[in-house]
Structure 1
């Protein structure tokens, strides 16, 4: 389970692109905290601490606002700079102990399939409904000994206690196949194609 991490936030009063740019230059990240009927709170978060915290998938965060108010939250949307990959903005959802929320959880592959086969991960994450204070960092799919043609669906994965699937149980997660060369994938070899052309030419000659 993801650890609970604490972030010191400050109320944000300046808005607009210019204000957001100045905030980021000061190694702070603009954020909004919302949920449970509360008015959205516009905040700034410490840049380095936030980046480190959000390396943990579905991390449970304690947001300390202006050194006084504590709110439990999870990151619902993280906007990143497409070039620098730094965080530009974070949407935080307020959560309460005991409630369940829907989250996307990464899928990790363990084990090795049968010799000569490869695994194809069709979906790298799975949507589940889980307790907000016990969100898993990842789900495991075990492929040990699986043969060509074998597959695992969402319903085949073992979920943490208290969690349940939020999406289609028939969703394909992984399947096993045997890699084939380009020549094997082609319907015919160049030599076979040449023979076919020769046969076709002979047929045309006979018709004449």
Structure 2
């Protein structure tokens, strides 16, 4: 069964622009919603939430302990960040029952050795997570992807190629590329690079003159 992460939260009585005062105190405003029940405004310690997010995978199930109301089993629905500082501004949590079907992005863990990657010294291009549907109680920390089928630069591992556990269903395009090897970048010798730059300069100057 999927592990539940416990976190203490408190009722929130500050809303709108006034939530800035909460963030100055090291608190994050949030809401618990879903399951056709009333939304609950909450607040919680920023440093605790950041630590739990760092220690646990995306898609983890939280048990939010609200004084006088017991624990709410939830998933993180959306985390809003400040576009400049990157600091967390607000978090929306969605209620979830352990036996219900949920769509969630599960991190990918790449195993095995790709002959194409080894032989060409290219770059592995890959997705970080795969969206699947499963019971909340069955959520995995990661899904393994074997890289050994990537034998040449022409080979690609698609979403449909991933072996999902029983009870899991792929969400999204089965033809989406999950992993492939890109050829290594070719660096020109200094003399050739200088020659190419010299040839490009007159062309660029000509275009600039024409535009004037």
So what's the TM-score if we normalise by structure 2? 0.77
| Residue in structure 2 matched with residue 146 of structure 1 by the alignment | 150
Following superposition, the deviation at residue 180 of structure 1 comes to 4.5
Indicate conservation of the 8 Å contact 1:28/1:45, yes or no: yes
State how far apart, in whole Å, the 2-side matches of 1:29 and 1:92 are. Answer: 13
Secondary structure at the aligned position of 2:39 is classed as strand
Following superposition, the deviation at residue 162 of structure 1 comes to 1.9
Instruction: From the superposition, tell whether residues 38 and 45 of structure 1 become closer, same or farther in structure 2 (CA, over 3 Å).
Output: same
**Which range is displaced more, 141-150 or 8-17?**
141-150
| Residue in structure 1 matched with residue 186 of structure 2 by the alignment | 181
Q: Could you list the per-position Cα deviations for residues 119-167 of structure 1 after superposition, in whole angstroms to 9, with x for gaps in the alignment?
A: 5334322111121123222222221363121111111112233211111
Indicate conservation of the 8 Å contact 2:8/2:64, yes or no: yes
Instruction: From the superposition, tell whether residues 44 and 156 of structure 1 become closer, same or farther in structure 2 (CA, over 3 Å).
Output: same
Q: Could you list the per-position Cα deviations for residues 20-56 of structure 1 after superposition, in whole angstroms to 9, with x for gaps in the alignment?
A: 1111122211111101101111111222221122232
| Residue in structure 1 matched with residue 191 of structure 2 by the alignment | none
Which residues in structure 2 correspond to 1:125-136 (within 5 Å)? 125-136=129-140
| Residue in structure 2 matched with residue 111 of structure 1 by the alignment | 112
> If you compute each CA radius of gyration, which structure gives the higher value, 1 or 2?
1
Instruction: From the superposition, tell whether residues 145 and 174 of structure 1 become closer, same or farther in structure 2 (CA, over 3 Å).
Output: closer
Gaps of 5+ in 2: 189-194, 200-212
Indicate conservation of the 8 Å contact 1:113/1:145, yes or no: yes
Secondary structure at the aligned position of 1:42 is classed as strand
Aligned length, in residue pairs: 186
Secondary structure at the aligned position of 2:50 is classed as helix
State how far apart, in whole Å, the 2-side matches of 1:80 and 1:159 are. Answer: 32
State how far apart, in whole Å, the 2-side matches of 1:62 and 1:14 are. Answer: 23
State how far apart, in whole Å, the 1-side matches of 2:71 and 2:185 are. Answer: 56
**Which range is displaced more, 53-62 or 71-80?**
53-62
| Residue in structure 2 matched with residue 201 of structure 1 by the alignment | none
Structure whose residues are more often helix by fraction: 2
State how far apart, in whole Å, the 1-side matches of 2:102 and 2:123 are. Answer: 31
| Residue in structure 1 matched with residue 210 of structure 2 by the alignment | none
Gaps of 5+ in 1: 184-189, 195-208
State how far apart, in whole Å, the 1-side matches of 2:83 and 2:110 are. Answer: 27
